[in-house]
């Protein structure tokens, strides 16, 4: 993509735009680069990193809502409530925690998402404004590493789901000879599912948009079918809804609530950074704001409620709470029901994994070496890394999954989000020099491509957010008194500490030591 030539300077409603020789600003505030504004052969650009031309910014409110519905309806989302109840919450406390977390994380989603439809740029290019052309690789690679891990986790969970359901259809499937401690048929399901995901994303973002448009309602229907089935079997819902909290609402509740809240926020904190990867295709700000607001908090809360109601029914039918939807679906003897469950698990897992965990690292890796890595190559690299990190180890226990994995990830990514929001909204007031984001020696070159202020804010914020990380004795990789003991009290609030501290420090540094020309903030 080289940009759409603004010779007629016509906006999306055939209204003349205004701007400079390099860019056109349309009446709705969106900006487009002129033909040739990005130098040919630039080592900081390729066609996947260029701003999306106006004619391709056509995603609607429904498209964004569908993306979120498709991403939220997945097995790990379903099991979030079970993880919280395992810590002693009742179902009302668990649903409240999940709902509040998603309302909170929506705010940085909307703030960072604003740059997408306005400038048509992906996350790693957006990060260049604050970190510098080279420095942007720091947050991009952190985000990419997290996404690769998530990709592996989701693929493993999806492969397990297929394995369990096929085991119900084909006798002996789950009793196959073991390799590496697991049946070879499970590894086969994992590999085949992995290959299917990469085959879809390899076709590009428009294929993903079309897939999400029909996947979202299909998975939602599947969840309600599961609810109707268990309600029919149970003749109503079991005692789980009346199960009292083991924590109450007193002093025992809050030490569990706050780290759990940070973990729930961290579940989508990855997308609060790279949401411009999607909003860059938006038809305008209204589409991304309404699409995300309608799609994220409502869907996650509804899914948490569904998981609680269905699990309650399982208590009545089987005498024990079955939180895993795959395990529950596998209890039916109806072949059609098993096949429907199998297809639903496939679509649900593919939907979230491609949108949440492949798009971002594909762009991030392309930003690392634009001449050699494009979107498709980045997606393939993501797939390989997602296997190498051995995702089956990250989901062994709720403590490891929610406190260690989600808590640490949330703290680091919250730090990056604070810097991006501070730079775009406070320092620059949403005004970027679009062509300069691709130009050596330009406004965002800083010191050899690095903005030391952003690096300093990230270092300090990250240290405060995760430096005190700790694990219960024998239940995690961290010392019981924290990596840095005097920071341990902050560890339970990692995401909030990261966002707040990095935002304040970045603004302070940019005001106290502003970049010299040509990098002076305007």
- The pair of structure tokens assigned to 144 is 């990419």
Of 416-420, 434-438, 490-494, the least confident = 490-494
Looking at residue 235, what is its pLDDT?
Answer: 78
Looking at residue 14, what is its pLDDT?
Answer: 40
Tell me the average pLDDT across 471-487.
78
277/360 Cα distance (integer angstroms): 7
**390 domain residue, yes or no:** yes
Residue 48 binned pLDDT confidence (cut-offs 50, 70, 90): confident
Alpha helices in 170-204 (DSSP H): 184-201
Tell me the average pLDDT across 453-478.
85
Tell me the average pLDDT across 374-381.
85
- Bridge partners (DSSP) of residue 152 are none
342/226 Cα distance (integer angstroms): 12
**51 domain residue, yes or no:** no
Looking at residue 237, what is its pLDDT?
Answer: 72
Cis peptide before 288 (omega within 30 of 0): no
**56 domain residue, yes or no:** no
Residue 518 has pLDDT above 70, yes or no: no
> What rounded mean pLDDT belongs to the chain?
82
From start to end of 40-99, where are the E strands? Answer: none
Of 250-264, 286-300, 329-343, 432-446, the least confident = 329-343
Task: Name which residue leads in pLDDT, 354 or 444.
Answer: 444
**101 domain residue, yes or no:** yes
Looking at residue 365, what is its pLDDT?
Answer: 86
Task: Quickly count: other Cβ atoms within 10 Å of residue 170's Cβ.
Answer: 10
Looking at residue 9, what is its pLDDT?
Answer: 36
Q: pLDDT tens digit string along 197-242?
A: 888 877 766 777 777 777 778 878 888 888 888 888 877 777 667 7
Residue keyed to tokens 């390989």: 384
Task: Quickly count: other Cβ atoms within 10 Å of residue 389's Cβ.
Answer: 16
CATH of the domain at 350: 1.10.4160.10
168/166 Cα distance (integer angstroms): 5
Residue 403 has pLDDT above 80, yes or no: no
Q: Is there a contact between 66 and 218 (Cβ–Cβ < 8 Å)?
A: no
305/313 Cα distance (integer angstroms): 12
Percentage of residues in the chain having pLDDT higher than 70? 90
User: What is the residue range of 361's domain?
Assistant: 61-406
Helix (H, G, I), strand (E, B) or coil at 31: strand
445/224 Cα distance (integer angstroms): 52
**413 domain residue, yes or no:** no
**12 domain residue, yes or no:** no
Residue 148 has pLDDT above 50, yes or no: yes
18/205 Cα distance (integer angstroms): 29
**What pTM, to 2 d.p., does this model score?**
0.82
Rg (CA), the chain: 23
How many angstroms from the chain centroid is the CA of residue 359?
10
Looking at residue 180, what is its pLDDT?
Answer: 75
- The pair of structure tokens assigned to 302 is 């509804």
From start to end of 124-261, where are the E strands? Answer: 178-179, 182-183
Residue 520 binned pLDDT confidence (cut-offs 50, 70, 90): very low
Q: How far is CA 419 from CA 58, 131, 446, 455, in A?
A: 29, 9, 16, 9
494/267 Cα distance (integer angstroms): 13
CA nearest neighbour of 134 among 464, 474, 447: 447
**125 domain residue, yes or no:** yes
Burial of 335-359, coded b for 16+ CB within 10 Å and e otherwise, reads eebbebbbebbbbbbbbbbbbbbbb
Residue 121 binned pLDDT confidence (cut-offs 50, 70, 90): very high
Pairing outcome for strands 178-179 and 182-183: antiparallel
Crossing angle of helices 254-274 and 91-113, rounded to 10°: 30
Of 278-287, 391-400, 409-418, the least confident = 391-400
Residue keyed to tokens 């680091």: 412
Q: pLDDT tens digit string along 245-274?
A: 778 787 888 888 888 888 788 778 778 888
Looking at residue 145, what is its pLDDT?
Answer: 82
Q: Is there a contact between 75 and 156 (Cβ–Cβ < 8 Å)?
A: no
Instruction: Give the N- to C-terminal CA distance of the chain in Å, as an integer.
Output: 28
**21 domain residue, yes or no:** no
Tell me the average pLDDT across 370-398.
78
Q: Is 235 left (phi over 0), alpha (psi -120 to 50) or beta?
A: left
Residue 342 has pLDDT above 60, yes or no: yes
Looking at residue 419, what is its pLDDT?
Answer: 97
Q: Is there a contact between 281 and 27 (Cβ–Cβ < 8 Å)?
A: no
Burial of 402-426, coded b for 16+ CB within 10 Å and e otherwise, reads bbbbbbbbbbbbbbbbbbbbbbbee
The total domain count for the chain is: 1
Residue keyed to tokens 């609607």: 60
Q: pLDDT tens digit string along 62-120?
A: 999 988 887 787 777 777 777 777 778 888 888 889 899 999 999 999 999 999 999 99
Which DSSP symbol is given to 427?
I
């Amino acid at each position: 993509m080289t940009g759409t030539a603004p010779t007629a300077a016509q906006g999306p409603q055939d209204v003349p735009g205004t701007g400079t020789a390099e860019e056109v600003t349309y009446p709705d505030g969106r900006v487009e680069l002129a033909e040739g504004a990005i130098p040919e052969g630039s080592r900081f650009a390729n066609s996947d990193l260029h701003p999306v031309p106006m004619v391709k910014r056509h995603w609607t409110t429904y498209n964004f809502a569908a993306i979120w519905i498709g991403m939220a309806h997945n097995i790990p989302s379903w099991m979030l409530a079970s993880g919280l109840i395992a810590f002693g919450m009742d179902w009302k406390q668990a649903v409240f925690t999940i709902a509040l977390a998603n309302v909170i994380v929506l705010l940085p989603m909307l703030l960072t998402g604003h740059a997408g439809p306005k400038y048509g740029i992906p996350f790693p290019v957006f990060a260049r404004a604050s970190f510098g052309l080279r420095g942007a690789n720091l947050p991009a690679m952190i985000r990419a590493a997290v996404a690769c891990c998530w990709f592996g986790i989701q693929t493993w969970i999806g492969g397990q789901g297929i394995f369990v359901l096929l085991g119900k259809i084909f006798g002996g499937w789950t009793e196959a000879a073991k390799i590496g401690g697991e049946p070879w048929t499970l590894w086969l399901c994992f590999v085949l599912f992995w290959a299917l995901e990469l085959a879809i994303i390899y076709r590009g973002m428009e294929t993903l948009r079309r897939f999400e448009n029909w996947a979202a309602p299909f998975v939602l229907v599947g969840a309600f079918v599961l609810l109707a089935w268990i309600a029919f079997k149970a003749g109503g819902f079991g005692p789980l809804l009346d199960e009292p909290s083991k924590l109450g609402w007193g002093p025992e509740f809050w030490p569990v609530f706050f780290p759990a809240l940070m973990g729930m926020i961290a579940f989508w904190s990855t997308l609060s950074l790279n949401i411009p990867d999607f909003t860059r295709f938006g038809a305008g700000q209204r589409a991304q704001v309404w699409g995300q607001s309608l799609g994220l908090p409502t869907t996650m809360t509804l899914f948490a409620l569904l998981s609680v109601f269905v699990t309650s029914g399982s208590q009545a039918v089987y005498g024990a709470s079955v939180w895993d939807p795959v395990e529950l679906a596998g209890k039916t003897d109806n072949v059609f029901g098993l096949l429907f469950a199998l297809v639903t698990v496939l679509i649900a897992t593919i939907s979230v994994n491609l949108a949440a965990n492949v798009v971002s690292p594909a762009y991030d890796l392309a930003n690392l070496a634009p001449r050699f890595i494009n979107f498709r190559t980045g997606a393939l690299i993501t797939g390989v890394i997602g296997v190498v990190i051995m995702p089956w180890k990250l989901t062994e226990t709720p403590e490891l999954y929610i406190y260690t994995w989600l808590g640490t990830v949330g703290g680091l990514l919250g730090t990056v989000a604070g810097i991006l929001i501070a730079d775009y909204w406070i320092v620059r007031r949403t005004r970027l020099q679009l062509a300069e984001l691709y130009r050596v020696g330009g406004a965002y070159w800083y010191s050899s491509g690095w903005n030391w202020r952003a690096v300093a804010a990230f270092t300090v914020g990250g240290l405060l957010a995760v430096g005190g990380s700790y694990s219960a004795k024998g239940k995690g990789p961290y010392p019981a008194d924290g990596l840095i003991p005097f920071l341990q009290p902050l560890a339970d609030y990692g995401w909030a500490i990261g966002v707040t501290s990095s935002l304040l420090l970045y603004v302070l540094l940019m005001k106290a030591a502003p970049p010299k020309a040509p990098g002076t903030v305007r």
